[in-house]
Amino acid sequence: MSNTATPQKSSGANSLVIRSAIVASLGGLIFGFDTAVISGTTTSLQRVYELSSSGLGFTVAIATIGTILGALFSGQLADKYGRRNMLFVIGAFYILGALGTALAPEGALGHNVFMFFRFLGGVGVGMSSVCAPIYTAEIAPPAQRGRLVGLVQFNIVLGILLAYLSNFIIRQIAPEPIAWRWMLGVMAAPAVIFVLLLLTVPETPRWLMAHGREEEAVRTSRQLCRTQEESDIQVAEIRAQLVQDAEARATKVPFFTKRYRKVILLAFAIAMFNQLSGVNAILYYAPVVMQQAGASDNASYLMSVAVGFMNLVATMTALTVIDRIGRRSLMIVGSIGYLISLGFLTIIMFRYQGHYNATSSMLVLVGLLVFIAAHAFGQGSVIWVFISEIFPNRVRGRGQSFGSLTHWTFAAATTYAFPPVIDKLGGGIAFAIFFVFMCGQLVWVLKVMPETKGVPLEEMAAKLGLEQ
């Protein structure tokens, strides 16, 4: 009897880990959808709410301000109330944000309503960027962690592609005055599915044990691990780590200390460079960039779908190798790709400025495809995996919040500044600024960034030299 039960447990463990990781990563799909869907509505929003370029920038950026708030507090909330419970809250914010922005009335009051619900959806995105990677990292075996946490990023880029595709289809079939409402409201459907699927996955063993629910933690660990021996090792490692955590709490060691300075700076740098590449600004305004480069309205939406598809393909490629060649190697390749594509885009924008045409729009599309491939293969696939790995268990929630907070602060700044910069200085200057920052990223990756592939979370602090 026992011999027969063991293989069943092993098979069930693998399927539960994969299912749990996929469900958590669906929060990333809606995250990506929310990021890109606004790109199809910017022209309508300017018309309906009579916005200037700065007003449009703020209307789009209000979601990223929401993400800052979500990222700031969600790590602590996840530590207190549970990773899975916070994923439920995130799903509720997604639903409210989608329906609220879609149904917002016109006029000044309507604009305020729109801004409030877009902000609320942004809070959900910020919380998702913290909680989904933590949840997945804590249920995944070390050898599979890069791929499974990377599912969050895969679903983010899948969500971006679906948003571009959805915008293109809705533009063809919905009346122009209300098409933007359908573009925003359709996000409620995957958000409802996400909430329902969360009912089928467990809380993480690490969180359960940290809150005195040891029997449940052991039972969940045995469901998630391939063998009982593997589960026993995991439980022992968690128990030992919790003893260290208790000692740290007894001495009231704060987060911003010399002990954690190295990982704090690592998280800050990778999150800062992620947004100083210009990726979110480009994703938010992809059709506008295409139109300014000479593409027609319909062509610009179709070109955005091509950008989203390239994003997906490059991400899938990166996730197949992230646990073999490592995080740092992907970052080196991605950084070089950034410099090639941003340099090319800068030259094209200066060369055709003032007389854009069909040729310039196709050249810009080529540059953007190379740019998004470089981002997806490097930064896009590495950032959330890397940040979820480098912080010790006792401060992982706060560390993930800090990294996400940094990411969204720079996202808000670039998203707000992009329309006025394009308007007043032109695309050449905008892409040149991003190029300079990516020179800095390449130096940082070569000189500072450590490799973290295959290192158990409980051993990461020693690997990075944090133990005293």
Q: Is the pLDDT of residue 51 over 70?
A: yes
Per the model's pLDDT, the better-predicted residue between 385 and 437 turns out to be: 437
List pLDDT tens digits, range 305-347.
998 889 888 888 887 888 788 889 999 999 999 999 999 999 9
Taking the C-alpha atoms of residue 408 and residue 99, their distance in angstroms, rounded to an integer, is: 23
Per the model's pLDDT, the better-predicted residue between 429 and 140 turns out to be: 429
Give the three-class secondary structure for 285: coil
pLDDT of residue 9: 41
The reply to whether 307 falls in a domain is yes
Q: Is the pLDDT of residue 5 over 60?
A: no
List pLDDT tens digits, range 124-180.
988 887 788 888 878 876 666 667 766 777 788 788 889 989 999 998 998 988 999
Taking the C-alpha atoms of residue 134 and residue 387, their distance in angstroms, rounded to an integer, is: 9
Q: What is the CATH number of the domain that holds 373?
A: 1.20.1250.20
Whether the Cβ atoms of residue 422 and residue 292 lie closer than 8 Å to each other: yes
Determine phi and psi for 186, rounding to 5 degrees: -65, -20
Identity of the amino acid at 245? D
Nearest to 382 by CA among 292, 291, 269, 289: 269
Mean per-residue pLDDT, 17-30: 84
Mean per-residue pLDDT, 227-252: 74
The reply to whether 356 falls in a domain is yes
User: Which residues have C-beta within 8 Å of that of residue 352, sequence separation ≥ 6?
Assistant: 293, 294, 359, 360, 363
pTM for the whole structure? 0.74
The reply to whether 222 falls in a domain is no
List pLDDT tens digits, range 69-117.
887 888 888 888 999 999 999 999 999 999 999 999 998 889 999 999 9
What is the number of domains present in the chain?
1
The reply to whether 146 falls in a domain is yes
Q: How far apart are the first and last CA of the chain?
A: 48
- The pair of three-digit structure tokens given for residue 104, joined into one six-digit string: 């917002």
Q: Which domain holds residue 153?
A: 2-201+253-463
Q: Is the pLDDT of residue 354 over 90?
A: no
Taking the C-alpha atoms of residue 375 and residue 357, their distance in angstroms, rounded to an integer, is: 27
Taking the C-alpha atoms of residue 356 and residue 348, their distance in angstroms, rounded to an integer, is: 10
Neighbours of 336 (CB within 10 A): 15
Identity of the amino acid at 32? G
The reply to whether 71 falls in a domain is yes
H/E stretch holding 127: helix 107-139
pLDDT of residue 247: 64
Question: Which DSSP state fits 202?
Answer: P
Q: What is the mean pLDDT of the chain?
A: 85
Whether the Cβ atoms of residue 130 and residue 74 lie closer than 8 Å to each other: yes
- Helix then strand then coil, in percent of the chain rounded to 5, is 85, 0, 15
Nearest to 384 by CA among 28, 99, 47: 28
List pLDDT tens digits, range 385-424.
888 788 887 777 788 778 878 888 898 889 888 888 888 8
The reply to whether 401 falls in a domain is yes
- The pair of three-digit structure tokens given for residue 393, joined into one six-digit string: 């268990």
List pLDDT tens digits, range 68-77.
888 788 888 8
- Output the CA–CA distances (angstroms, integers) from residue 433 to 202, 272, 383, in the order listed: 45, 14, 21
The reply to whether 468 falls in a domain is no
The reply to whether 212 falls in a domain is no
H/E stretch holding 334: helix 327-352
How confident is residue 468, by pLDDT bands cut at 50, 70 and 90?
A: very low
How confident is residue 458, by pLDDT bands cut at 50, 70 and 90?
A: low
Nearest to 385 by CA among 334, 332, 328, 336: 328
Taking the C-alpha atoms of residue 435 and residue 429, their distance in angstroms, rounded to an integer, is: 10
Taking the C-alpha atoms of residue 206 and residue 203, their distance in angstroms, rounded to an integer, is: 9
pLDDT of residue 117: 96
Helices and strands counted in the chain (H then E): 21, 0
- Output the CA–CA distances (angstroms, integers) from residue 288 to 39, 155, 211, 300, 371, in the order listed: 8, 24, 49, 8, 17
Decide: residue 158, CB within 10 A, 0-12 exposed, 13-18 middle, 19+ buried.
buried
